[in-house]
Amino acid sequence: MPAFSIREFNYPYDYDQAVEIWKNSAPGVNYSRSDTPAEIQKKLNYSPDLFLVAVVNEKVVGTVIGGYDGRRGIIYHLAVRSQFQKSGIGRALMHEVESRLKRKGCLKSYLMITKENPSVIEYYQELGWRIMDVKIMGKEFD
């Protein structure tokens, strides 16, 4: 396993590296209009301590974004550069963001897996996550 550290995302320094990871990650992690600089800055105004990166030799090699609304948590953009996958970085990022959510008082959190990426279901189950029988609905605002 490579020596890595986990720290909070540093905008704008880490932005381009994070976007590169998201654009080249496994199916299901996508770059969208929610990931533009302006939208990332909005995220950082609310809970910068839940946007984490894993770093090897000062290079961002993994990301995870947590959200918390005071009641429920959510996980977005767990992604690790392909050459660093299966090295424990993703697990460490998840452990850290989950710990931070718990410290905030979060009792339950969600994550979504797209139909294009079913291979990660087992990975998340090994981390203690379970499949819930729900339908997700969404709406984008102009």
Query: How confident is the model over 91-131, as pLDDT tens digits?
Result: 999 999 999 999 999 999 999 998 888 889 999 999 999 99
- Kindly report which listed range (23-32, 47-56, 81-90) carries the lowest average pLDDT score: 23-32
The rounded percent of the chain whose pLDDT value lies above 70 is 99
* Domain membership of residue 82 as a residue range: 5-126
Question: For residues 35 and 39, what is the distance between their CA atoms, to the nearest angstrom?
Answer: 6
Number of domains in the chain: 1
- Of 108, 109, 105, 106, nearest to 78 (Cα)? 109
pTM above 0.85, yes or no: yes
Cα–Cα distances (Å) from 37 to 15, 30, 62, 97, in that order, read 8, 15, 18, 22
In a domain, 102, yes or no: yes
Average pLDDT over residues 51-61: 98
Cα–Cα distances (Å) from 122 to 82, 94, 103, 127, in that order, read 18, 15, 26, 9
In a domain, 136, yes or no: no
